[in-house]
Amino acid sequence: MPSVTIPARTGDYVALKSGQRLKLINLHGTQVIDFWAFVFPSTTSTTGSDSTSTTSFIRSSSSTEVTGVTTSQPATPFPFVTGIQYFAASRTRSILSKLIPGTKDVLYTNKSVPLFTLLEDTTSGVHDTLFGCCDRFRMHNLGHPDFEHASCAENMHLALRRAAAQGVFRPGSISDEWTPDPLNVFMNVPITTSLDRESGGGRIECIPPESKAGEYIVLRAEIDCVAVMSACPNDLIVGVNAGKCLSVEYEPLPPHYYVSTVFLSASGDDYSTEADPAIAHFEFLHKSAWDTPHTPGIGRVKMSSPKRRIETDVMKLMMSDYEVTLVNDNMQEFYVIFKGPTETPFAEGKWKVHVELPDQYPYKSPSIGFVNKIFHPNIDEGSGSVCLDVINQTWSPMFDMINIFEVFLPQLLRYPNPTDPLNGEAAALLMREPRSYDARVKEYIAQYATNIHDDADEDEGETDGELSEVEDFNSDGEDEPAGAMEDV
Ligand SMILES: [Zn+2]
């Protein structure tokens, strides 16, 4: 899908399916995107009593009698019709116990349901969850003479109106007198003082974004939702957008893994957390979604069979832009052509990566090895194997093969960990002489990772010499075999 431009000072929405990814691109580098998401009841699963089907914040067992008057109310349209959930910055901060989500962190709804996972962030990681979004009242408060200044709140409501008009949800479901706090993507709000008993403290300032043109984040929807983005029109607080309101881009990436088909019934007994740390990790991420009084045995989660997952994940990898070559038509062993991430010394390189999926995949992580040589602290130079801890420690059954090639490997090359090396020489060089490290990486690429064969049909050859012979035969002899065929 091509990327979509959000013109300066305006907003847009995109409906996302569970598993679908959304890339938010800082086209000019200095523009903040206010980001929200809403989950509508008709698009959520409502099997049994879970967070998505539980409506009120008052327990059914609680007394609603107040001095003889029943306080139970009919559903009111403010701030939204019953059952809608929204991205909750405050809930996310309290669940994560931090102010800014980092890569692999989950963003939550107001009912503590996982809403997005931050899969990738090419910025230095500066975003904000503290600043309320700008609105016409705040603009007036900042000195604008009337209430007619454009704002993120207005952009959000106009985008929601368009979504409703296009049938994404029922018009009038969300009051335009209510604006939840956004995730302020790319916004730079450092805390500049510590707490002071006398005068309060934890002063926050708004300074220009650190991100550079073209940097982006990728979010994966964990539930069907409508995401809303605003290219913040705030030019009254100069720091927000470095004084100039510019356009941004977003790109919905193809769905590649539908979470809802993989986990869900808490009554299943396929796997136990005690037996599998990967599952424990996975459940930790999602515990709040299933941890309701009516969900017995949170320690057990039903999953689709590993064989099906292997087939699905490999098929998705093959249908994406990756070149995949199966070994003996076996879905559990294959080669993938992997290109080095941009703006790293690995950018020009192309590697053939050997992948083996264990029988217990996705509960156990795949094993990954570079076939042609690569100079990297966490990749063994002789065998090409990737330090397994890197994958094992972060692996979760929620991830799939595309994550390996779009997130894990690019991050491994982008952020090597020289303190725990498989290639001591590369680690030492990176720490002592980063420039020589870059140069050596590039030398290796020139020697081993430049002219590798990436045509899946011609995988018989192993060395460059044999491969070029195969190619010569094909190109030179094309007419002759055709003639021979006619004779037959
Ligand atoms: Zn704004």
154-163 pLDDT tens trace: 999 999 999 9
Q: With 60 as the cut, is the pLDDT of residue 138 above it? A: yes
Measured in angstroms, how far is the CA atom of residue 240 from the centroid of ligand 1? 8
pLDDT value of position 35: 98
Residue 250 CA to ligand 1 center (angstroms) comes to 17
Cα(232) to ligand 1 centroid in Å equals 4
Distance CA 361, CA 365 (A): 6
Instruction: Give residue 46 CA to ligand 1 midpoint distance, Å.
Output: 34
User: pLDDT per residue over 309-318, tens digit each?
Assistant: 888 888 888 8
| Pairwise CA distance, residues 341 & 24, whole Å | 18
Confidence at residue 5, expressed as pLDDT on a 0 to 100 scale: 96
Q: Distance from the CA of 184 to the center of ligand 1, in angstroms?
A: 8
Tell how far the Cα of 278 is from the centroid of ligand 1, in angstroms: 39
Q: Which residues surround ligand 1, an ion (CB under 5 A)?
A: 134, 152, 232, 234
**pLDDT(21) > 50:** yes
Does pLDDT of 331 surpass 80? yes
Flag whether pLDDT at 370 surpasses 50.
Answer: yes
Could you tell me which of 93, 80, 253 has the C-alpha nearest to residue 184?
93
**Cβ-based neighbours of 450, under 8 Å, separated by 6 or more:** 348, 349, 350
Whether cis (ω within 30° of 0) applies to the bond prior to 79 is yes
pLDDT band with cut points at 50, 70 and 90 for residue 268: very low
Global confidence as pTM? 0.53
Please tell me the predicted confidence (pLDDT) of residue 469: 35
Residue 234 Cα to ligand 1 middle (Å)? 5
Lowest mean pLDDT across 103-117, 357-371, 461-475: 461-475
| Residues paired with residue 336 on neighbouring β-strands, in sequence order | 324, 353
Q: What is the pLDDT of residues 211-235, one digit of tens each?
A: 999 999 999 999 999 999 999 999 9
pLDDT at 391: 66
Number of H helices, E strands in the chain: 12, 21
Mean pLDDT is lowest, of 58-62, 338-342, 436-440, 462-466, for 462-466
Residue 31: per-residue pLDDT: 97
> How close is the Cα of 151 to the center of ligand 1, in Å?
6
Q: CATH 3.10.110.10 in the chain: give the residue spans.
A: 307-469
pLDDT band at 41 (very low <50, low <70, confident <90, very high): confident
Is 50 exceeded by the pLDDT of residue 431?
Answer: yes
Distance of CA 127 to the CA centre of its chain: 15
User: Residue 387 catalytic?
Assistant: yes
Q: How high is the mean pLDDT of the chain?
A: 79
Instruction: Identify the pLDDT of residue 402.
Output: 86
- By the 8 A CB rule, do 118 and 196 touch? no
Measured in Å, residue 247 CA sits from the centre of ligand 1 at 13
31 CA from centroid of ligand 1 (Å):
10
Is the pLDDT assigned to residue 465 strictly greater than 60?
no
Residue 197 pLDDT = 80
Q: Is the pLDDT of residue 350 over 90?
A: yes
Which pLDDT band holds residue 472 (cuts at 50, 70, 90)? very low
What is the distance in A from the centroid of ligand 1 to the CA of 231? 7
Mean pLDDT, to the nearest integer, of 239-251?
94
pLDDT at 113 over 80: yes
CA distance 199 to 191: 15
Q: Judge whether residue 362 has pLDDT over 90.
A: no
H or E stretch at 22: strand 21-26
Q: Which two tokens stand for residue 392?
A: 């094992």
Residue 172 has pLDDT above 50, yes or no: yes
Q: Which of 134, 152, 206, 387 is catalytic?
A: 387
pLDDT for 251 beyond 90: yes
Taking domain 307-469, whether its CATH number is 3.10.110.10 is answered by yes
Give CA–CA dist 123/104, Å, rounded. Answer: 14
pLDDT in tens, 43-81: 444 444 556 567 777 777 776 665 655 555 554 578 888
**Å from CA of 146 to ligand 1 middle:** 17
Give the pLDDT band of residue 1 (cuts 50, 70, 90).
low
- The predicted structure's pLDDT at residue 59: 75
- Of 14-18, 75-79, 126-130, 478-482, which gets the smallest average pLDDT? 478-482
Higher-pLDDT residue of 306, 327: 327
